Structure 1
Amino acid sequence: MTSSLLFAVLASGFIYGITPGPGVLAVFGIGAARGRRAGAGFLCGHLLGDVVWCSTALIAIVGAREIGSSAFDVLGVLSGLYLFWLGWRAIRTQRGSEVGPQGAARKPFWHGILFGLTNPKAYPVAVATFTALLSSRAELLTWSMLPWLIFISFIGGIAAYAILIGVVGARQVRAVYQRHEVMITRLCGVMFIGFAINALAHALPGLFANKA
């Protein structure tokens, strides 16, 4: 495994974990209501869902690559379009357009497990994020390195959650996040669109070349 591939997988796990979404909004809500310890418990439980969905996404990506470059290119195009759609929605978001967590969980750890495993956006976002960052290194992906890919993405997710645990519950952070929630969401939308362009830029030439 090359250093660039290792970094791309690590970055994918980190970005997937730290990018604002239902899970991040939930942990900020729980942290605001019950403090850092409850937020950390929620994230520890949520990490199980991340491992499941990221592993499934990596299996799909490696499988598409092993089946043939065309399958991976199609996956890249679909992922790019999905990321672009998410980014466009985020850019157009308005205050109050998203439904926040409905109160703090009484058992944050178990709530985090349930939340992480049942989040309907988890799998498509994981596939799209990993595909966007790994598309330029698709030829390096093999089944033999799958355990390492999963482990490295897990380390990236832990790093993201360590940052979230460090800031959740802090009064100043909660105030800034609540005051600038729309701007933060829109900036994340711009980032998603950037990933989408990267995925499409690598997938479309290969797809058209194969058709030719």
Structure 2
Amino acid sequence: MIAAHDVLIFTAACVLMVLTPGPNMIYLISRSICQGRAAGVTSLVGVVAGFFVHMLAAAVGLTAVFLAVPMAYEALKWAGALYLLWMAWQAVRPGARSPFEARELVPDSSSKLVAMGFLTSVLNPKVALFYLSILPQFISPAHGSMFIQSILLGLIQISVSFTVNLLIALFAAGIAVWFVRNPLWLAVQRYVMGFVLAALAVRLMLEQRKTL
């Protein structure tokens, strides 16, 4: 089984990922503000379905890669660290925009909302990179089946993302108004997130390689 402290750290990484602005968050916020909470929640159903595609693909692919190419762990570790540093830079770079600056979207049917949410999630490079570079750092051959570990970690990611995105979809309009009235807190949030992401990147770079 996966160690408890690794589960906690992975859960924290999932929270950071979902709170970092990306295609899913921007789409859900824009849809919720432009078409209402129900539309945002309906879109979230599609987004979550997309997460399952990433999870299953990673579980099958990572298991095969770890068994065939032991050095793949080292490559994925550095890719994950660089990815986290890139996200940290995106959070603090000059001119970074808030995802709560919604785009204008025309109303869509429920089926199209689910389909668009699904496509946004499946084609989201942030989610793909998370599953290919961050998730492997919490898998150890000593803890049993790597496939099962991948599925368990994937379910944690999906649960965290669903919970946070549901709250965002339900309260997007109010949050957007609050940030407009309190721009200082938006800047503080960005820099805190950037610091934590950078710290996690350093942790990954210092992580000892797991042996098969």
Question: Normalised by the shorter chain, which TM-score bucket?
Answer: 0.7 to 0.9
Give the whole-Å Cα distance in 2 for the aligned partners of 1:71 and 1:128: 10
Give the whole-Å Cα distance in 1 for the aligned partners of 2:131 and 2:179: 24
TM-score, L = length of structure 1: 0.74
Deviates more, 1:59-68 or 1:80-89: 59-68
Decide whether the 8 Å contact of 1:64 with 1:75 is kept in 2.
no
SS at match of 2:125: coil
State yes or no: 1:154 paired with 2:155: yes
Give the whole-Å Cα distance in 1 for the aligned partners of 2:148 and 2:107: 33
Matches within 5 A, 1:121-140: 121-132=126-137, 134=138, 138-140=140-142
Q: Tell me what 1:85 maps to.
A: 86
SS at match of 1:20: coil
The CA deviation at 1:200 is 0.9
- Tell me the amino acid that sits aligned with residue 158 of structure 2: G
State yes or no: 1:114 paired with 2:119: yes
Where structure 2 has 5 or more consecutive residues not aligned to the other structure, the ranges are none
Identity %: 18
- Tell me the amino acid that sits aligned with residue 176 of structure 1: W
Q: Tell me what 1:176 maps to.
A: 178
Q: What count of residue pairs does the alignment treat as equivalent?
A: 201
Decide whether the 8 Å contact of 2:58 with 2:150 is kept in 1.
no
TM-score, L = length of structure 2: 0.74
**Aligned mate of 2:200, from 189, 195, 198:** 195
Q: Tell me what 2:105 maps to.
A: 103
Deviates more, 1:120-129 or 1:10-19: 10-19
Q: Tell me what 2:57 maps to.
A: 56
